[in-house]
């Protein structure tokens, strides 16, 4: 893609920002990539500054579900806080997971996430 500018994130990772007009021209190609199973986001903006991102629907759906689960997060946070304040011995991971409703044997579909380097 043309009109790419490197942008350094606070953690030192670099992303490429596509100029907005070029991003609009690339949308049909990006859709084809998404359909073929690739899920690299398209980061776009003007003057090399990231202002928006296009991601596959499946990725957005997962992010939305996690972000919307405020009650679940509050429960997990409160449980962790209580455990840290208690000077009793630690409990097994399996027991802690069961208490907050996590199934450690559940398969997680992470096929749409970037692979570690």
| 40-78 residue pLDDT tens | 899 999 999 999 999 998 888 877 776 666 666 677 777
Q: Characterise 101 by phi-psi region: left (phi > 0), alpha (psi -120 to 50), beta (else).
A: left
The whole model's pTM is what? Answer: 0.55
**Virtual CA dihedral for 107, 108, 111, 117, nearest 10 degrees?**
-110
Q: Give the closest residue to 27 by CA, choosing from 3, 6, 1, 50.
A: 1
Q: Determine, yes or no, domain membership for 48.
A: yes
**Local structure of residue 48 (DSSP, 8 states):** T
Find the domain containing 92 and state its range: 70-100
* Same domain flag for 81 and 56: no
Q: What 3-state class would DSSP assign to 16? A: strand
In angstroms, the first-to-last Cα distance of the chain is 23
Number of domains observed in the structure of the chain:
2
Q: Determine, yes or no, domain membership for 87.
A: yes
């Amino acid at each position: 893609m043309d009109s790419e500018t490197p942008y350094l994130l606070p953690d030192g990772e670099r992303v490429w920002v596509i100029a907005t007009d070029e991003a609009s021209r690339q949308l049909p190609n990006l859709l084809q990539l998404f359909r073929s199973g690739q899920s690299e986001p398209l980061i776009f903006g003007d003057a090399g500054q990231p202002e928006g991102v296009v991601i596959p629907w499946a990725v957005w759906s997962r992010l939305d579900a996690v972000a919307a689960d405020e009650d679940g997060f509050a429960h997990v946070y409160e449980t962790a806080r209580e455990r840290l304040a208690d000077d009793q011995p630690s409990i097994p991971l399996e027991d802690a997971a069961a208490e907050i409703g996590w199934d450690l044997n559940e398969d997680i579909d992470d096929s749409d996430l970037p692979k570690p380097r």
